[in-house]
Structure 1
Amino acid sequence: MRWFNSADKRWMLMLAWLLLAVTTATEAREVGPSQWHDAMDAFAAQDQAHPPPQKAVLFIGSSSFNYWHTLAQDFPGIPVINRGFGGSVIADSTYYADRIVWPYHPRLILMYAGDNDIAEGATPERVLAAFQAFVAKARKRLPDVPVVYVSIKPSVARWALWPLMHEANEKIRAWAATQHGLRYVDIGPAMLDAQGKPRPELFIADGLHMTPAGYALWIAALKPVLAEYGFHTR
């Protein structure tokens, strides 16, 4: 009989979380090649035409990163890679990590995702489990690379879902506080007005995606975090 040591048990637990998140995510919709085939091919073509920097800051997740077209200009002097793909849920980034995370050997990973998970019917518990699965997979391949979770934002279009999004944020915040190399950044308060409602000027006409004013708030929140990990703007 083989006895498992503590390291074995930790890895078994992390893999269990991964399986749980993948299973729960697929209850909402299929996660796999057919959903994001074109997006992955587009990223591969970009990488071939313009090889991305190694040891950079990797921004991964859904459309709030995907639409951040001024990312490199907003963090001058910091090597950044944007691999947000619109409409994705957390489990999509986990599934495609072998194509849009590991090849870049990032020094820091920033994730914005979970917004679409809630919109597609995921519970806050499922959002937490999906993020834990991403972290578990990242720890297996990139054990020393910090992961920063940018909180789910309050928006005009999805304001009715904000209680669930806020609950998911709080669960991730609490879990992150117990983990080494994991950071939670709360961008919500700055995006709310004095009455606690989303500030309309931060959003384009769809009420979901952000204007430059919205991204300016994110830049202000993220610059100090990047500096803590040794990334300083010019």
Structure 2
Amino acid sequence: MRPFTAPALLLAAVLSACAGAGPTTTPAPVAPTAGAVSSPQWAEDMARFAAEDARNPPPAHPIVFTGSSSVRMWQTLAEDFPDRPVLNRGFGGSQLRDATWYADEVATRYRPRQVMLYAGDNDIDAGRPPQRVLADFRAFVARIRRDLPRVPIAYIAIKPSPARFDQLPAQREANALVKAEAARMDGVDFIDVATPMLDADGRPRAELFGDDHLHMNARGYALWREIVAPYLR
């Protein structure tokens, strides 16, 4: 049997090499995902939004503002943009991935004409790196586009604040990454509220913030109104 063993093994090797020499198939790209929510407490906010919708139906095809507390605490939103059908669906303390997880509850169900997002501030504070903020931003856009392929989206830059001044380098990096990514996307704007909130020395302007040095006061929101208004559709 030995005279036939070597040729047989050689033939098997040649056939195997030929099979491996064929064209390779490139794996299909995997849609970005943001992962699970940062806290189960957001379910209460979603229930509150549903109750508000039942009591007072929102406007048809609104401009939805969503994200963390800087949106939630924008109590003058409707007054600031009286000629626009705006809807506030911010939930304080949330991260960018939370807006993705609850995209239906805070955005797509309203069939909005535009989605405005402020998130990433709490992500950096929680230790999530700028590259993760970028990935979560991509996931948010992909999630909105899944249901609303043509709706305009705008990302409001992570704001600097006195309370988180030590995080400013990471905030700037995250903003730069998101800005560059938004520029490559169709129908996605990056709104730079961060630069005008810094003084001549590059420090957050204290007069724009409340007593906690984190959340904005009326002057802060007045500044945001001026910056955001040209982007509304």
Q: Same fold (TM over 0.5)?
A: yes
Deviation of 1:97 after TM superposition, in Å, equals 1.2
Pairing partner for 2:148 from 126, 138, 142: 142
Question: Any unmatched runs of 5+ in structure 1?
Answer: 1-7, 230-234
- Give the TM-score normalised by the residue count of structure 1: 0.86
Secondary structure of the residue aligned to 2:162 is coil
What is the match of residue 78 of structure 1? 84
Task: Give deviations 1:171-200, integer Å, cap 9, x for gaps.
Answer: 000111111011001011111111111111
After the TM superposition, which residues 32-47 of structure 1 pair with which residues of structure 2 at under 5 Å, given as runs?
Answer: 34-47=40-53
Deviation of 1:31 after TM superposition, in Å, equals 3.4
> What CA RMSD, in Å, does the superposition of the two structures yield over aligned residues?
1.5
Secondary structure of the residue aligned to 1:158 is helix
What is the match of residue 209 of structure 2? 203
CA contact (8 A) 1:115 1:165 kept: yes
Q: Which amino acid aligns with 1:182?
A: V
**CA–CA separation in structure 1 for the residues paired with 2:114 and 2:96:** 17
**CA–CA separation in structure 2 for the residues paired with 1:92 and 1:80:** 21
Secondary structure of the residue aligned to 1:157 is helix
Deviation of 1:51 after TM superposition, in Å, equals 0.5
Q: Which amino acid aligns with 2:103?
A: A
**CA–CA separation in structure 2 for the residues paired with 1:56 and 1:112:** 17
After the TM superposition, which residues 9-158 of structure 1 pair with which residues of structure 2 at under 5 Å, given as runs?
Answer: 9=28, 12-13=29-30, 15=31, 17-18=32-33, 21-22=34-35, 31=38, 34-158=40-164
Task: Give deviations 1:104-146, integer Å, cap 9, x for gaps.
Answer: 0000000000000000010000000001000001111100101
Percent sequence identity over aligned pairs: 48
Q: Which amino acid aligns with 1:31?
A: S
Query: Larger Rg: 1 or 2?
Result: 2
Considering Cα pairs closer than 8 Å and 6+ residues apart, tell me whether 1 or 2 has the greater RCO. Answer: 1
Runs of 4+ aligned structure 1 residues displaced above 4 Å come to none
- Specify whether residues 194 and 77 from structure 1 end up closer, same or farther in structure 2 by C-alpha distance, changes over 3 A only: same
**CA–CA separation in structure 2 for the residues paired with 1:129 and 1:50:** 35
- Give the TM-score normalised by the residue count of structure 2: 0.86
The size of the alignment, in residue pairs, is: 208
